[in-house]
Amino acid sequence: MNLETFNPSKPFTFGIELEIQIVNTHDYDLTKAASDLMRLVKDQKVPGDIKLEITESMIELATVTAAEKLNIGLCGGGTHAFQQWSDRQISDEPRFHYISELYASSPFVQAPA
């Protein structure tokens, strides 16, 4: 499988990536709404890029206004308090399916069925 083309940066540049968790506003559990959120903000001008992450419950950057329209909350800071990896849906991007399959047998990752 071919991965996306890697675009190297100039020497001595610094980038920041903020991974945002998407949670429902009822019990604050992770929810699969990344693709919906991406569709909602696709024509909005935002600082930086908004990208899918490996699961549908994460993105790399988001706008709170768009999240409110979907009745979802946004949070970050590592692992979600009560996430079960086996409950996560992999984002519909070839590289994420590849990574999920590649690491499915890792003793540190329990890939979704």
Query: What is this structure's pTM?
Result: 0.56
State the DSSP string of the chain.
-PPPPP-PPPTT-------EEEEETTT--B---HHHHHHHHTTS--SS---B-SBTTEESS--HHHHHHTTEEEE-SSS-TT--GGGPPBPS-HHHHHHHHHTTT-TT-----
Output the tens digit of pLDDT for each of the chain's 113 residues.
566 677 776 665 555 577 889 999 999 999 999 999 999 888 888 766 788 888 899 888 745 666 677 888 777 767 777 777 777 888 888 888 888 888 776 655 554 44
Instruction: For the chain, give every domain's residue range.
Output: 20-83
